[in-house]
Structure 1
């Protein structure tokens, strides 16, 4: 069950000269629902204030038994009321969710998902729940 907490979800990624910005936008919308997307020449940013925007990522974690790795990454990157993780941009374009532990694991640069909430522990618990 989705917790009734405020959560700001941000997605940021670079747009390389070799990339089609519309494909990068599609990659972002494939992993984050109902987000407002803004693109510039070299970057894309998507934001949402709805925790439901993370539903595709939540479903992937549940369906692929990826709870432990996401839990570890989210807690390693936890600072105050915020945490983050990387996703592979090419996998996102193909409508898949692939976690990157390090920035250089995604050849075209990763998608960074930043979560902020005064109840960040509850957000993490929901995201990795079955």
Structure 2
């Protein structure tokens, strides 16, 4: 795998439920998206990375499990201008598994919304699903 040298911004957002530990949710996001800067308040977490290598764990999961078509459909369906997004199941992420959600309510604790923004968004999508 060769991560392209493309400028991008990866943003992760999720709510934190009263039954959840904010520290565990932060740890979950940082384990799936290394090189991220994480900020939180009592009820939400926002994380940002400007390094495409933060996406490598998801890339490997997609390719190792042959899920390219699922991710391509989601990334293309949610593409608008230079931004696309998808939902990750937060409960699966807690155990370092990657599970895409088609709808917000598929993740009982709420999903992690992942947004990718780049002037080269088409090239990034191609890298994620075809390279």
Residue-by-residue CA offset, 1:36-64 (whole Å, 9 max, x unaligned): 00111000011010010000000000000
In the alignment of these two chains, the number of paired residues is 130
Aligned-residue RMSD, C-alpha: 0.8
Contact 1:81 1:119 in 2 (8 A): yes
State how far apart, in whole Å, the 2-side matches of 1:30 and 1:58 are: 14
- For structure 1, list consecutive stretches of 5 or more residues without a partner in the other structure: none
Give structure 2 stretches of 5+ with no counterpart.
none
- In the alignment, the residues of structure 1 paired with residue 100 and residue 19 of structure 2 have an alpha-carbon distance, to the nearest angstrom, of 23
Q: CA deviation at 1:68?
A: 0.2
1:26-45 aligned at under 5 Å gives the runs: 26-45=27-46
SS of residue paired to 1:123: helix
Deviation at 1:30, TM superposition (A): 2.3
Q: Which runs of 4+ in 1 moved over 4 A?
A: none
Query: Does structure 1 residue 108 correspond to structure 2 residue 109?
Result: yes
Task: Give the TM-score taking structure 1 as reference length.
Answer: 0.97
Cα offset for 1:118?
Answer: 0.1
**2:22 matched to 1:21?**
yes
